Structure formats: structure tokens, C-alpha cells
Structure 1
Amino acid sequence: MSLHLQRRARAVDALAAAGIDMLVAGRQDHINYITGAHQLWTAGTRPFGPVCTLNTANGEIFLLSTWDEGVPDDIDLDHLHGITWNGAIIYQRLAANPGMAAAQRVGVDAWSPGMAGLIRAVAPNADVVAVDDILLQARRTKMPSEVDAIRAACAVAAEAVAAGLAHPGTDAQRLAAGVEAMALAGSSTPAAEPQVKGNIVDFSCIRSHYEGGLGRTAGATPPNARPHAALIAACVPGATGQDLRRAAPDGDWLVRGSGMGFEPPVINARYGADEVLEEHMVLSVSAGTGEEYARDTVLVTESTPEVLSPEEP
């Protein structure tokens, strides 16, 4: 089964268990997870809209896409619709979704006041509930194919970091070198703003929907002596946020989920004390001072954590 179908099945199971009949999604990460589509014209800031609807009874999807390029074959062409700001047209499209009118429980991952009224108009008998936590919980652990995709994204980030560290110019020139190397390696989509300052270089990128990240300091110590080595070693199943705090080095540090971008859990010296790590989580682990900083992407396994980012860029 294709990876996006495995993800969709996991999401449908989680939503159905919560009694959700229909999902109306507007967050791009949730849409990517469920559909596997590579959508065009999604850059920049936009208000919430019903970009994707999912019927949990049969897995049927309607998707905002002006054409079928990058859309998996399992989403029918007549289930695609173009961009519009006309509320009447949006209403008609939502109302045309089989199962919407009879839905008893509609899940949303965000909405605006206007969309709240619109959804209640097309699903008059439904309770409308937030499902962010349900979907993020379904995404919390990663399947083997997802880990492979994250590992490939980490390799792209490593190319960017290597180029930034090797360039002899200014910070701006090293940043440009890293961005160019990232694009040549297979991704022109940053997951976060690259950090190139002094001896520190940190890049994250999105490749095939998944984030890979790496951070290094020029001339730093070997991997097992870096300030975050003990923190990585503490990333085992059952470890709590308090356990990570005890393992954390002095200075700033952060352990947070990594998948289709920034994900839960989020643990540092102030937040996430009660979080519990699980096998198959993927984490971004960063720590260090201005003199020596490092970040790696780590898979929580049943024994020793596996570093997915290359040891040396």
C-alpha cells in the first residue's frame, strides 16, 4: 500500500474512533498527510478554507486543486475544485459532498467565523468539533516509510549545512551557498528559516512532505562529545520531559517532534515536563551555546536512539 494510503487509513481510524463523520481540513500538514497531494499555489499566508474534506465512512476525498498534477490517482478528477473566494460556490461544493448533510459530527482543524457558519449551514444536524489533537496523535509515531522519507530530507539538509560551513564568505554568502546546495540536493522548500550566524549553520527542509534538519558549529567536537549527546541518549521509550531535563546540558536546548514540519511533543527547560516519549517517534534534538551548537534528527527505537541526520555534513 502506498505511504499516503497508509497515513490516510491511520487518520481515518483515529477520526472514526472519535465519532467524526466528516473532516473539513485547512491545515496544509494535515492535508498532505491524508491526501499525499503536492498542491500548487499554497505559499504565503491565507485565511482558513475548506481545502480538503474526508468522509470517514468510505475514505472519499474532495480536494482544492486546480488540476491533477501531483494528485494521487485514488482521488477522482471530479473531486477536485479550483480556488474561489465566492462563499456561495464554497457552500455548493461543501453541500455536494456525500454524507455532509447527514453528518452528526464534523471535525475541523481550524476555522474562521465565516467558515463556522458555512459548515453549520451544510451540516445542520452536526456537532462541529476541533480535531487537531486527534490528527496530531495519529501522526505522533512514524511508520518505516515515513522514517525513510525523513532520512532522505535530512541528507538534503546536510548538503546545505556542509555548503554553509565550507563557504569562506560572509554570513549572507554562506546562507546563499547553503540554500543553493539544498535546492541542488532535492528541495527548495525550507521547513524553518535557516540560521547562519558566525560559526553556526542550521538548515531544515521539506522533501516529499517530510522535514529533515541538521545544525552544526564549525570546528566542533566529535559527535559523542557534543553538548547534546547525552540528550540524544536519553531519547528512549518511556522517557519523560523531566528525564530529558536531567540529561540536558547547560544553555538552550529543545527536543520536539519532527515529521511534516514542527510537531508535538515540545520539551525544553520550561515546557513538556509530563510528555512521554514513544517508540517510533522522530525528534529534532538541539542544544548548545553560541560557541558550540548542534542539532540532529533522531528516531526513538526500542533500544539506542538512531540518528537519522548524517554524522558529519
Structure 2
Amino acid sequence: MSLHLQRRTRAVEALAAAGIDMLVAGRQDHINYITGAHQLWTAGTRPFGPVCTLNVATGEIFLLSTWDEGVPDDIDIDHLHGITWNGAIIYQRLAANPGMATAQRVGVDAWSPGMAGLLSAVAPNADVVPVDDVLLQARRTKMPSEVDAIRAACAVAAEAVAAALAHSGTDAQRLAAGVEAMALAGSSTPAAEPRVEGNIVDFSCIRSHYEGGLGRTANAASPAAPPHAALIAACIPGATGQDLRRAAPDGEWLVRGSGMGFEPPVINARYGASEVLEEHMVLSVSAGTGEEYARDTVLVTESTPEILSPEEP
């Protein structure tokens, strides 16, 4: 089974267990997870809208996409629709989804007053409930194929870091060298704003929907252990945010989920003390300052944490 179908199966099982009949999704990460589609003309911010509709019982999907390029074959072309913010057209599209009129529970991953009115009209018998937490919980641990995809994205980020570290120009020139290397290696989509500030070089990218990230310090002597070494070692199943705080170095540090971008949990000196790590989680672990900084992408295993990003960019 292809990766996007494995993900969809996991999401459908989680939604069914929560008693959801129809999903109306507007968050791009959830849409990518469920559909596997590479949509056109979706960059930038936008209000919540019914970008993807999923019938939980049948698996049938209706998707906002201007064309079928990058859309998996299991989503019919007649289930695609173009961009519009015309409320009447959106109503017609929602009403055309089989199962919407009879749905008892409709799940949404975001909300707006306008969509509240539309959903009450097209699904008059349904309770509309938030399911962002249901979907994030389903995505919390990663399948082996997802880990492979994240590892491949980390390799692209490492190319960017290596190019920026090797460049001797200004910060802007080093940043440009890193972005160019990242594009040549297979991704023109940063997961976050690249960081090239003095000695700190940090890049993350999205490749095939998954984030890979790496950060290093330029011109630094090789320490006996990098600043985040103890944090990485503490990333084991059952560890709490409080356990990570005890392992953390002085100064700034962050442990957060990584998958289709920035994901829960978020743990640092101020947040996430009660979070509990699980086997098969993927985490971005960073610590340090301009004198000594490092970030790696880490897989929580049953024993020693596995670093997915290349050791030497």
C-alpha cells in the first residue's frame, strides 16, 4: 500500500473511533496527510474553508485543486474543484458530497463564522465538532515509510547547511548558497525561514510533504559532545517534558514534533512539562547559542534514539 493510503487509513480509523461521519478539512498539513496530493496555488495564508471533504465510511474525497497534476489516481478528477470564495458555489460543492446531508457528526480542523452557517445548511442534522486533536494524535507517531521520507528530507537540509557553512561571504550570500543547494537537492520549499546569523546556520525543508531539518555552528571547535547531546539521549519512550528539562543544557533549547512541518509536542523550559514521549515519534531537538548551536531530527526508538539527519553536513 502506498504511503498516502497508509496515512489515510490511519486517519479514517481515528475519525471512525471518534464517531465522525464526515471530515471537512482546511489545514494544509491534514490535507496533505489524508490525500497525498501536491496541490497548485495554495501558498500563503487564507481563512478556513472546505479544501478537503472526506466521507469516513467510504473513504471518498472531494478536494480543492485546480487540476489533477500531483493528485493521486485514487481521487477522481470529477471530485476536484477550483478555487472560489463564492459562498453559493461552496454550498453547492458541500451539498454534492454523498453522506453530508445525512451525517450525524461532522468533524472540522478549524472554524469560521461563515463556515458555521454553511455547514448547518448542508448538514442540518449533524453536530459539528473539532477533530484537530484527533488527527494530530493519529499523526503523532510515524510509520516506517514516513521515517524514510523524513530521512530523505533531512539529507536535503544537510546539503543546504553544508553549502552555507562552506561559503565565505556575507550572511545573505551564505543564505542564498544554502537555498540554492537545497533546491538543487530536491526541495524549493523551506519548512521555516532559513537561519544564517553569524555562526548559526539552520535550514529545514519540505520534501514530499515531510520536513527535514539540521542546524550547526560555523567555525566552531569540535566539542566533546554537542550542546544537545544529553537532550537527544533523554528522548526515549516514557520520558516526560520534565525529564527533558533535567537533561537540557543551560540556555535556550527546544524539543518539538516534526513530520509534515512543526508538530506537537512542544517542550522547552517553559512549556510541555507533562508531555510524554512515545516510540516512533520524530522530534526536532535543538540547543545552544551562536558560540555552540546544534539541531538534529531524531527518531524515538525502543532503545537508543536514532538521529535521522546526517551527522556531518
1:34-88 Cα distance to aligned partner (Å, 9 max, x none): 0000001011111111000000001000000111100000001111111112111
Q: Which moved more, 1:17-26 or 1:83-92?
A: 83-92
Shift of 1:220: 3.3
Shift of 1:218: 1.2
Partners of 1:220 and 1:226 within 8 A in 2: no
Partners of 1:223 and 1:229 within 8 A in 2: no
Unpaired runs of at least 5, structure 2: none
Partners of 1:240 and 1:275 within 8 A in 2: yes
Match of 2:278 in 1: 278
**SS of residue in 2 equivalent to 1:114:** helix
Are the structure 2 counterparts of residues 62 and 252 from structure 1 closer, same or farther at C-alpha, using a change threshold of 3 Å? same
1:64-122 Cα distance to aligned partner (Å, 9 max, x none): 01111000000011111111121111100000000000000000001211011101110
Partners of 1:281 and 1:300 within 8 A in 2: yes
Unpaired runs of at least 5, structure 1: none
Q: Aligned partners of 1:220 and 1:204: how far apart in 2?
A: 21
TM-score by length of 1: 0.99
Shift of 1:290: 2.3
Q: Aligned partners of 1:224 and 1:211: how far apart in 2?
A: 29
Q: Aligned partners of 2:220 and 2:92: how far apart in 1?
A: 59
Partners of 1:223 and 1:311 within 8 A in 2: no
Shift of 1:224: 6.0
Q: Aligned partners of 2:132 and 2:85: how far apart in 1?
A: 25
Are the structure 2 counterparts of residues 117 and 224 from structure 1 closer, same or farther at C-alpha, using a change threshold of 3 Å? farther
**SS of residue in 2 equivalent to 1:263:** strand
Shift of 1:206: 0.2
1:143-187 Cα distance to aligned partner (Å, 9 max, x none): 000000000000000000001111000000000000000000000
Q: Aligned partners of 1:260 and 1:303: how far apart in 2?
A: 25
Are the structure 2 counterparts of residues 37 and 223 from structure 1 closer, same or farther at C-alpha, using a change threshold of 3 Å? farther
**SS of residue in 1 equivalent to 2:224:** helix
Match of 2:163 in 1: 163
TM-score by length of 2: 0.99
Shift of 1:19: 0.4
Partners of 1:297 and 1:307 within 8 A in 2: yes
1:176-225 Cα distance to aligned partner (Å, 9 max, x none): 00000000000000000011000110000000000000000013354761
Q: Which moved more, 1:133-142 or 1:75-84?
A: 75-84
In the TM superposition, structure 1's runs of 4+ consecutive aligned residues that sit over 6 Å from their partners are none
Partners of 1:284 and 1:295 within 8 A in 2: yes
RMSD between superposed Cα atoms in Å: 0.9
Partners of 1:39 and 1:71 within 8 A in 2: yes
